Amino acid sequence: MTDRTVDRINRSDGAIVTTFLVAGIGFVAGSPFLIVAATVPLWYAAASVIGTREDAEIRAHREMVRNGDGCDSDGTATREEPLTGDPGDVVAVRTTVENVGSEPIVDLRLVDGVPAELPVVDGTPRACVSLDAGETVTIEYDMELHRGEHTFEAVDVRTRDLTGTVVETWNVAATGAEALSCLPPIETVPLRGGANDFAGTVPTDDGGSGVEFYSVRDYEPGDAIGSIDWRRYARTRDLTTVEYRAERATRIVCLVDVRHNQFRGASQDRLAAAELSADAAERTFETLVEAGHPTGVVAVGDDNHSSVPPGTDPGTREAATTLLEAARSSKRLTNVPFWHFGMSKDPFTKIETTLPGEAQLYLFSSFVDDRPVELIERLRTQGYTVRVVSPDPIADDSTEGRFEALVRRTRLARARSAGARVVDWDRTRPLGIVLRNTIGTVTTQ
């Protein structure tokens, strides 16, 4: 609890002026009532002088519960264990304040210390009440999670005495939950084909080092002794070499659409589609790199695109994080240093020059226009494997909204018919649930 600030509201000057004014009118009008009424402001002036501090004592306790489809019913948080969730999850907060003093508090005003980055989507973190000794009041509200680590501030408290002239302000640290974390990993990310020359875990149609039998061939000078089929040699005296199916890493590119139209419909209470796409791309990138797959990122703006070539090294991770952070905050991509930069009237027409020859593409876009669909159709004709995660930004509670939603679903259907795997992300569902349930586990071919 911080030191209290005590302010006294001085009403004496105005009261004296009002008294003389009303009394003068009373004498002129010959009204005893006005003369007596003229003394009332003097009582207010006296109250501002004789008002005393209440020395109120309160105690606060905070609880948080994560709501949403697919979330555990016991997803509660404590001070020792921060609550975790996905971007867009809703967290219910209950902060209980108790008057632990021996006197009633006639005017108590409270504001819970909500993290500045998290919008309140239902209820209010404020209260204005009177509390008897031992009585409690509970503030209830819902917040929407945004990506990052978030910590609550102390509860701001303000009291006034019975005269309303003595104001005390301080804050009280709440017991219970105080932190939230919105950095969950993706459990599984699907991979298909697209193998390259890096050692990895995706089986190929080539012989080499691995664990799965591939073929037997005649011995050649230089073959490792351990690869010789000694049993066959013992039977036939022929030297042969056993080859196993080579395993290679899969080169991946996460493409994030951050054009101006991807920020439509964003508000304090609603994340933009570009922000959700950047969150999903970052979590996918982290998971793939941890699995050893060289992964890159491409961010497409209205008149430019910036990219980080696939890799697994710390430099690639740092560059990808910087690029996605710029995309999330809608900065111009030209303000960030990257390893490749392209300019054109339509950046989508230049994407193919950024992609490695044998790469899988993960496209994150809301599909509010035809550019992503046209890109998918071009890439599929060139043999690229494409997967789509599309956050839905359209509120279909109006005739115009329903029409736009229909057109968007038609674009997603075109993407599917072109051979892309499409996830239509209803933003009321947590991202982790969408990716795990809709895309499934790692697959290869």
Q: Convert the pLDDT of each residue in 357-368 to its tens digit.
A: 778 889 999 999
C-alpha distance from residue 1 to each of 108, 131, 246, 415 (Å): 16, 19, 64, 57
CA atoms of 302 and 259, how far apart (whole Å): 5
Task: Kindly list the distances between the CA atom of residue 133 and the CA atoms of 57, 74, 110, 194, in Å, as whole numbers in the listed order.
Answer: 9, 33, 17, 70
Strands 359-364 and 340-343: unpaired
pLDDT, one tens digit per residue, over 405-430 is: 899 999 999 999 998 988 888 867 77
Report the pLDDT value the prediction gives residue 407, as an integer from 0 to 100.
Answer: 93
pLDDT digits (tens, 9 = 90+) for 215-247: 677 877 877 777 788 888 788 888 888 776 555
Q: HSE of 391 in the Cβ direction (CA atoms, 13 Å)?
A: 31
C-alpha separations of 77 from 46, 64, 130, 175, 178 in Å: 50, 6, 29, 12, 8
Give the CA count within 13 Å in the CB-facing half-sphere of 117: 15
Average pLDDT over the chain, rounded to an integer: 76
Q: What is the mean pLDDT of residues 115-137?
A: 90
The single-letter code of the amino acid at 102 is S
Is pLDDT at 42 greater than 60 in this prediction? no
What is the mean pLDDT of the segment spanning 428-441? 58
Distance (Å, whole) CA 61 – CA 130: 18
Least confident of 55-59, 157-161, 264-268: 264-268
pLDDT, one tens digit per residue, over 299-358 is 888 877 788 889 989 999 999 998 988 887 654 444 343 333 344 456 777 777 777 777
Q: Which residues pair with 109 in a beta bridge?
A: 128, 158
Q: What is this structure's pTM?
A: 0.52
Name the CA dihedral angle for 369, 372, 375, 376, rounded to a multiple of 10 degrees: -120
Say which residue the tokens 């020792």 belong to. Answer: 80
Q: Does 219 or 56 have the greater pLDDT score? A: 56
Give me 416's structure tokens: 């599917």
Name the percent of the chain lying above pLDDT 90: 22
Q: Looking at the predicted structure, is the pLDDT value of residue 396 above 50?
A: yes
How far apart CA 436 and CA 431 sit, in angstroms, is: 8
Beta strand 120-123 with 359-364: parallel, antiparallel or unpaired? unpaired
Give the rounded distance of the alpha carbon of 24 from its chain centre: 66
The most distant pair of C-alpha atoms in the chain lies apart, rounded to whole Å, by 137
